[in-house]
Amino acid sequence: MTERTIDVVVFDIGGVLLDWSPTYLYADLIPDEQARTHFLTNVTTPAWNHKQDEGRPWAEAIEELTSLHPEHSEWIEAYDTGWLKMVKGVFEDTAAVLTDLRALGIPTYALTNFSGEKWEVAKDAFPILTHFDGEVVSGVEQTVKPDEKIYRILIDRYGLDPARTFYTDDMQYNVDGARTVGLDAELFSGATELRTQLRSRGLSV
């Protein structure tokens, strides 16, 4: 049996545990694909949404963007009020990995770029998000991955040994950021590969 080299497993959330995409909401609101793509690319831009992950209040974000694009006020407001419709659901195969780790007594944590406001909404809607031993949420901490600071918050807050802490994320730059502080991090490409990565480190999942 492979010697166990990790004691803790840390999960990213969007793209790993939750299936999130603005398209799930706006496919209904903006049926025309070209118009929808333009809106999501040029109005509610990823950079604009990222500010909420950094801690900007949603009310402020909606007010600012509506003032710039008053003709799209209803669609902009829906990004806030209809946010939950952007989540198709939980990736059940990843949730099963989390459940199996907990059954083994392995501490698990969430480390996510997420609006603090929407994180509470998501936890109410998807109870699996409350099953972690701890969490570090960018919107609460007001610092985002891949900034070194957010990884150090995780390590320091929960007294983790970086070398024995495994982290999975679907964005390579976040994986690279985790590795800079000594975390054992791998790119998430699905639950099956995640199990393989964990087994290679001595966990029987």
Confidence (pLDDT) at 143: 97
- With CA atoms as reference, report the closest residue to 168 among 181, 180, 153, 179: 179
Residues of the chain with pLDDT under 70: 1
**Domains of the chain, residue spans:** 8-17+91-199, 21-86
**What confidence score (pLDDT) does residue 2 get?**
84
Q: What is the CATH number of domain 8-17+91-199?
A: 3.40.50.1000
| 126, 132, 136, 138: CA torsion to nearest 10 | -20
Residue 24, helix vs strand vs coil: helix
pLDDT 10s digits, 18-56: 999 999 999 999 999 999 999 999 999 999 999 999 999
Long-range Cβ contact pairs of 130-133 (< 8 A, separation 24 or more)? 131/98, 131/99, 131/102, 132/11, 132/108, 133/107, 133/108, 133/109, 133/158
